[in-house]
């Protein structure tokens, strides 16, 4: 998001010159962050759920590393299980982490002076 903000400095400066408030720019960057994370999380979850279901049925053969697993009393074939609780935790952490990571770029974009931002090349 910080790179996106740097690439769009002139655009954000033009928006500020046209009367868009600092809070609106701040909210716009945060919404973009949230939308990217939600769409990416859903696509990643769909792919991950499919992979987890496949390997949950067929198992992951780790017999090459059977000696290492014997120290932990594990079988050489593991079967992953995707639970609703783990999905909620991972998606929630991704959304919260992305919003926290999007705060700084949004704050920097909101602080831009329109005249200086439009001169940026």
Q: Which residues, in sequence order, are bridge partners of residue 61? A: 77
Of the candidates 10, 28, 2, the one whose C-alpha atom is nearest the C-alpha of residue 114 is 10
> How many whole angstroms separate alpha carbon 99 and alpha carbon 22?
18
pLDDT truncated to tens, each residue of the chain (121 aa)? 888 888 888 888 899 999 999 999 999 999 998 899 889 988 988 998 899 999 999 988 877 777 766 666 677 788 888 888 988 898 889 889 888 888 999 999 888 888 888 887 5
pTM of this structure:
0.71
CA angle 28, 113, 104 (to 5 degrees): 45
């Amino acid at each position: 998001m910080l790179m996106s903000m740097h690439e769009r400095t002139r655009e954000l400066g033009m928006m500020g010159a046209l009367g868009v408030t600092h809070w609106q720019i701040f909210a716009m960057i945060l919404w973009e962050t949230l939308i990217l994370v939600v769409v990416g999380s859903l696509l990643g979850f769909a792919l991950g759920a499919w992979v987890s279901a496949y390997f949950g049925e067929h198992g992951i053969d780790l017999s090459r590393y059977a000696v290492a697993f014997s120290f932990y009393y594990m079988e050489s074939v593991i079967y992953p299980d995707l639970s609703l609780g783990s999905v909620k935790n991972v998606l929630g952490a991704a959304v919260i982490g992305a919003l926290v990571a999007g705060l700084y770029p949004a704050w920097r974009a909101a602080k831009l002076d329109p005249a200086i931002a439009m001169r940026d090349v």
